Structure 1
Amino acid sequence: MIHFFTDPYKDELIYSAIARYHYYTGNVDYKDTLQELFGKRSIIPSLEIGSNIDILAKNLGDRYTAENIIKNHTIFPFYSPFLPKDRKKELLKEIKYQDGGGLYTKLGMVAGSICKKDAIYYCACCAKKEIQEYGEPYIHREHQLQGVFICPHDAAELKKYPLDKSNCSRIEFIRLDKKLLDLRNIRLVDDKYYDKLYKISKDAYYLLQTDLNNIYKEKILDRYKNLLYEKELTTTSKRIKQRELYEEFISFYDKGFLELMESNIDNDDEYNWLRVVTRNLKRTVHPIRHLLLINFLSGNIENFFNEINNEYNPFGKGPWTCLNSAAEHYKLNVVKKLKITEDYKSRLPVGTFSCECGFVYSRKGPDKLEEDKYKIGRIKKFGKVWENKLREYLREEKYGLRELARLMNCDPKTILKFDTLLSTNYLKRHNNTIKAEEKVVESKIGTIYKEHILNTRVTNPTATRTEIRNMCKKEYMYLYRNDKKWLEDNLPLKSKSINRNKKVDWDKRDIEFVALIKVKYKELLSKDSPIRITKSSIGKSAGILVTLEKNINKLPKTKKYLNQIIETVEEFQIRRCKKIIDTMYEKDECIRLWEIQRSAGIRSKDFEKIKSYIIHYVNKKDKRDMYGKKGS
């Protein structure tokens, strides 16, 4: 055991600590240093990970363990969570006890490498701080990761150390010499992909800092499938919709950025990396590509790993709610059996809930609001508890059909059906009363539908009979079957019967429409969820869309005002981004372009067109905050 060693700093590679040890001991031959630390002179130094770590730890004393050195002073944790369980154990043994031959090949750092680094990298800001605090800089492990170009601490561009490893002896340990460092801080603020590169560097650093020893490729794959299912990119059986995934992924990351990260995707290739990373194959995929997918699926790497054991269910976690109104446990979470299938048209998940009381119902998912769990799409089976309750009500012979339907939470026709099935025949003996009740209900429905059609006519005075029919399909069909005469009397005249000499005061209407549109325009602008200002959105909101589409040329003032307020797609995107930025400033959050883009849901190629406007607006907000609102 040696009695002196240069203890590694935070996130310093063990390679760097050994290089400092060699320097301070004054050893001339690197083989002497290898003999002292590893007990043999044939070790070949490795920058990123190393080998024979167990021997090194024992020679350094009780303060060190092989596990601690590997976890805190190598880049192995960067690869660790994405390795299969058995391979991870095998590789850890090699790092601890063997010479590391073939180690990088098994990790995927050779054939599967991307954004390879052929030199040692450093951050000028970090090095400057270390020289001030410790009197010397050191080699950070996070700066050597493939695919990381920005320092996660200072957001500065990483620089290449001028001393080339390939021109040095194989057994030489390179120590950072502050005389050779360029300590100027160069930032990529205006770079097209700066925000994305910075986020990747921070996510990569999270992998180094977090204890993910119990996370394996198998768990990662399950988490991917759950999140893809949540995004409706898998079937209910968790089969991945590869074409849709590819299209959304490419939309999220433009091809230029993927090319920069050496992660282009050929969707015609059955074994492109995006397909491989979402399949249970023996192939390993580079950690950077995993980070790209995690950011696409979750946006927050911490949440991704914190919830890695959570399985997504479109209907929430069980037990689920029983909606049998006849049961004592009505609206309580007692249902333990749920079967999820897929709607053959919409491909949405359909949940079938089966309670022990015999009540079985289904509904389409996913549940988005708390009240969704109290909805029934279809009752498949009522069960004995429900039937016995209905039998009790029927034998009491004091309830009408509609009241029974309300008590049993079902359709009146269902009551009639079970009255026969249960052989109570109460309703058959009171047929006249039932018919009278039905007439009262039908009368109420008819009145509501008539009012709806009349109101539609008022808000669309120039609409034709066909247009009214299309706007009130349900109401029209009901009244056509039950009160056709009323329809004929209250719908607009058929086109051949219209009095073509009847004149409309278009000037008056023009003025009225402008006033109405101004009100609706303010209402649309004040909505929490921005809506693009178009002729259609204004027309629908004001109830005058048909007139605007058919007679806009007769309304010159309205047409002029609409042209002033109608937004292009880009103008709407800019307004939406400004609203997000305002909210961020109110919450005192850090402003990042990629976060604004994601919150606004804008594709990268479209965001590039408006990026300069957004940066200008952010700078303007910054100045306003700096000098005060009055100074702006």
Structure 2
Amino acid sequence: MLNNFPVLYPDELFYSAIARYRQANAIDSKLGVERDIYGIERHHKVGKSVYFPQKLETFIERLPFYGNLSVDELIWEHTMFPFYTAFMTDDKTNEIFEAMSYGNRMSIENMVGIPMSKIKTPQFLRYCPCCYEEDLNKLGESYWRRLPQVPGALYCPIHKVLYKDSAIDITKENLDYICADDDVCNEETANDEEVVEYKELDERYVRNVQWLMQNRIRLPPNYISSFYIDRLREAELTSYVGNIKMTEFLEAFQGHYSANYLELMQSAVSIDERNSWTKLFIRNTSKNRSPLRHLLMLQFLKVQLAKLFEMEPVIGKRPKKKSNRVPIYSSEERKQQWLVLLTEHPNANRKELRKINNGLFAWLRIHEREWFDEVTPKGCKRRRD
């Protein structure tokens, strides 16, 4: 029974709460911590992850009966689950939720698609130096928050200072449970001279990230693609049917974002690059696409994030218009043309006649075959010397 597990702070990673529990109880080994949290022994395995912890139902069962913490609250408010599943289907979101609740042989990172993604997660746990100092003054300790760990989030939305890397390398296989303290955090603010020009863009990006993490709406991928096509059509960047005018689209996208900012967001684009992510992003609805790039696309289209999730009617790709073209010549006129041709070339066989007017020959064979065979010679007699 976990009688003294700490109350979680707002936006605190579950990993951070485990680290504070370990420190408060002076537990020496990771195995000892995991035995307390999950009730496991040495020969058992638990999916250890800073972003996506597993077997959370087991943890909840070990809390006192009067505790009011739930698996739902843990996953939605204290892991990276809401950000990375924001643009997935309900079915996929529920599958990942179940894996985190009860455990899964596959890592959740693999289920989400992080290892194969071009968007890499931060190597080190990150923090805001000002938040860190305020925590120490108000709480007597600090903690690891979720928002600084989001790829592309540069500035703290509260203090407007750059996030900093701690000394905790979360890519290590045997990562320990370590608190946010003076041993791993240097509270001095970082110099933002190289990125200050992107501060306004980052503020909008972070506001959208916060909206995603506070809402639980999920949309069908086909709806999202159709929504994008409609907005691009309004900007005259697609045809009437909905085919993207790729060169114009990429030029407009590069005009909205600087090359340096896109590089910083791990989303550089090139008009000449055959497999540029922007060329595949809207067309491919079956592949999981990074939330970061969804937010870049929405900001480019000047669409409020909440607008996408209102589920208004969309058009997307339109069927091609059927041609109502009236034939230049009627059937009788074509027949008359053919009779004139036969009169002008009385000794020509079908092969020779076809060479003279292949279009008329083909049309009559298809549309007036019986009449064509009746009036057209199949061959000509050879003259004898």
Amino acid in structure 1 at the alignment position of 2:54: S
Identity of aligned residues (%): 25
Superposition deviation, residue 131 in structure 1: 1.1
| Counterpart Cα distance in 2 of 1:10 and 1:65 | 15
Match of 1:199 in 2: 204
2:164 maps to 159
Distance in 1, Cα, partners of 2:18 & 2:234 = 48
Aligned to 2:49: 46
Q: Which runs of 5+ in 1 are unaligned?
A: 314-338, 345-632
Change in CA separation of 1:127 and 1:54 when aligned onto 2, cut-off 3 Å: same
Q: CA deviation at 1:268?
A: 4.4
Cross-structure match for 1:31:
31
Does the CA-based 8 Å contact 2:269-2:276 persist in structure 1?
Answer: yes
Q: Which residue of structure 1 lines up, in the alignment, with residue 312 of structure 2?
A: 310
Match of 1:266 among 262, 265, 270: 270
Letter of the aligned partner of 2:146 in structure 1? R
Change beyond 3 A, Cα 1:92–1:143: same
| Matching residue of 1:491 | none
Alpha-carbon shift at residue 161 of structure 1 (Å) = 1.0
Cα distance in 1 for partners of 2:171, 2:284 equals: 38
Classify the secondary structure of the residue corresponding to 1:81: coil
User: Is 2:99 the partner of 1:94?
Assistant: yes
2:221 counterpart of 1:217: yes
- In structure 2, stretches of 5+ residues that fail to align are 324-385
The answer (yes or no) to whether the contact 1:77–1:208 under 8 Å persists in 2 is yes
RMSD: 2.8
8 Å CA contact retained: 2:225, 2:285: no
Distance in structure 2 (CA, Å) of the matches to 1:121 and 1:340:
49
Residue range with higher mean Cα deviation, 37-46 or 136-145 = 37-46
Please name the residue that 1:11 is paired with. Answer: 11
Query: For the pair shown, which has the larger CA radius of gyration, 1 or 2?
Result: 1
CA drift of 1:149 comes to: 2.1
Equivalent in the alignment of 1:82: 87
Alpha-carbon distance change, 186 to 119 in structure 1, aligned in 2, over 3 angstroms: closer
Q: 1:180 to 1:292 in 2, by over 3 A?
A: same
Equivalent runs, 1:198-597 vs 2, <5 Å: 198-209=203-214, 211-305=215-309, 307=310, 309-311=311-313
Q: Assess if the C-alpha contact under 8 Å between 1:80 and 1:213 holds in 2.
A: no
- Which secondary structure state, in structure 2, belongs to the residue aligned with residue 193 of structure 1? helix
What letter is aligned with 2:312? N
The structure 1 residue matched to 2:58, chosen from 55, 60, 73, is 55
Distance across 2 between alignment mates of 1:177 and 1:266? 43
* 1:131 maps to 2:133: no
Residues 265-314 of structure 1 show CA distances to partners (whole Å, capped at 9, x for unaligned) of 23445543213221243222221111110101125333443x3x12368x
For each residue in 1:401-437, what CA deviation from the matched residue of structure 2 results, as whole angstroms up to 9, or x when unmatched? xxxxxxxxxxxxxxxxxxxxxxxxxxxxxxxxxxxxx
Q: Counterparts of 1:304 and 1:187 in 2: how far apart (Å)? A: 36
Report the CA distance shift for 1:193/1:225 in structure 2 as closer, same or farther (over 3 A): same
Shift of residue 118 of structure 1?
1.2
Q: Structure 1's 265 and 164: CA in aligned 2 closer, same or farther, altered over 3 A? A: closer
Q: Judging changes above 3 Å, is the alpha-carbon distance between structure 1 residues 95 and 276 closer, same or farther for their aligned structure 2 residues?
A: farther
The size of the alignment, in residue pairs, is 314
- Measure, in 2, the Cα distance between the counterparts of 1:296 and 1:36: 48
Question: 1:254 and 1:120, CA in 2 relative to 1: closer, same or farther beyond 3 A?
Answer: same
- Structure 1 residues 216 and 95, CA, compared in 2 at 3 Å: closer, same or farther? farther
Is 1:118 equivalent to 2:120 in the alignment?
A: no
Structure 1 residue 92: Cα displacement: 1.9
Distance 1:103 1:115, change over 3 A: closer
Secondary structure class of the residue paired with 1:120: strand
How far off is 1:235 after superposition?
A: 3.1
Structure with the bigger RCO (C-alpha within 8 Å, sep 6+) is: 2
Contact 1:2–1:36 under 8 Å retained in 2: yes
Equivalent residue of 1:82, what SS?
A: coil
Q: 1:84 to 1:300 in 2, by over 3 A?
A: same
1-side partners of 2:18 and 2:106: how far apart?
20
**Shift in alpha-carbon separation, 1:267–1:136, aligned structure 2, 3 A:** same
Instruction: Show the counterpart of 1:421.
Output: none
SS of residue paired to 1:178: coil
Alpha-carbon distance in structure 1 between the residues aligned to 2:156 and 2:140: 21
Kindly provide the amino acid, as one letter, of the partner of residue 45 in structure 1. K
1:208 deviates by: 1.4
1: CA distance, partners of 2:292 / 2:218 = 20
Higher percent of residues as helix = 1
User: How big is each residue's C-alpha offset from its partner over 1:448-488, in whole Å with a ceiling of 9 and x where there is no partner?
Assistant: xxxxxxxxxxxxxxxxxxxxxxxxxxxxxxxxxxxxxxxxx
State the 1:103 CA deviation.
2.0
Q: What is residue 345 of structure 2 aligned with on the other side?
A: none
Q: Please give the TM-score of this superposition, normalised by the length of structure 1.
A: 0.46
1: distance between equivalents of 2:182 and 2:92? 39
Instruction: State the TM-score, normalized to the length of structure 2.
Output: 0.73
**Distance in 2 between residues matched to 1:55 and 1:224, nearest whole Å:** 42
Say whether the 8 Å CA contact 2:2–2:62 is kept in structure 1.
Answer: yes
Per the alignment, residue 474 of structure 1 pairs with: none
Contact 2:121 2:149 in 1 (8 A): no
AA in 1 matched with 2:223: K
Give the Cα separation in 2 of the matches to 1:81 and 1:163.
27
C-alpha distance in 2, partners of 1:68/1:36?
20
Between the aligned partners of 1:286 and 1:299, the Cα distance in structure 2 is: 18
C-alpha change, 1:171 and 1:250, in structure 2 (3 Å) is closer
- Confirm or deny: 8 A CA contact 1:50 1:100 kept in the other structure: no
State the partner residue of 1:615: none
Shift in CA distance, 100/46, structure 1 to aligned 2, threshold 3 Å: farther
User: Could you tell me whether the CA contact under 8 Å between 1:228 and 1:234 is conserved in 2?
Assistant: yes
Name the CA distance, whole Å, in 2 between partners of 1:236 and 1:212: 34
Instruction: String of CA shifts for 1:159-202, please: whole Å, max 9, x gaps.
Output: 111244567x7262111113543222346377332322333233
CA contact (8 A) 1:45 1:172 kept: no
CA distance in 2, matches of 1:72, 1:136: 20
Distance across 1 between alignment mates of 2:171 and 2:257: 35
Deviations 1:357-386 (A, max 9, x none): xxxxxxxxxxxxxxxxxxxxxxxxxxxxxx
Query: What amino acid sits opposite 2:313 in the alignment?
Result: E
Looking at structure 1, the residues matched to 284 and 167 of structure 2 have their Cα atoms a distance apart, in angstroms, of 42
2:3 and 2:150 map into 1 onto residues whose CA distance is: 32
Quick one: structure 1 residues 219 and 97, their matched pair in 2 at CA, closer, same or farther if it must change by over 3 Å? farther
In structure 1, the partner of 2:21 is: 21
